[in-house]
Structure 1
Amino acid sequence: MFGTHFGKDVVFEQITPEQFRSSVAPLIGEGPAVDVAGAYAATSTLPDRSIAPENSAPRLLGITPGPPDNG
């Protein structure tokens, strides 16, 4: 949907928690950036950290999400 809206390909590029920390530190400060990156690093070690389609909120609630609001 983002690609269609912006008229170009959108590609997900995974970054490490450290890369995230260094990118947001100028915006939120070093301390909060370290805390958030640490939480991401800890979460990445957990099993089943992804939401499987069969356990997703739309599936469990029996709903179909609509498109994002463009305006």
Structure 2
Amino acid sequence: MHYETNCADRIKIVWWDGSGVCLYAKRLEQSKFCWPRIGPHRVQLNHAQLLALVDGLDWKKVRPVAVKRPQSVG
């Protein structure tokens, strides 16, 4: 079951920054946020996925990229 409401163009994020509670709110003007399916499990987003969600992109398509360290310098 996919959950959508009339307010799928709005998001509110509440977090603790170590000294108090912060609230971030955003409303998209031309698109809707890509919400996860409703279920008994929590959804954890990494930094890149959260940025994609806030920008109105499909955060489920964001994957971490492995970066290889150079073998030698110079």
Q: TM-score, normalised by structure 1?
A: 0.26
Could you say which structure has the higher strand fraction? 2
Q: TM-score, normalised by structure 2?
A: 0.25
Structure ranking higher on relative contact order (CA contacts 8 Å, 6+ apart): 2
Could you say which structure has the higher helix fraction? 1
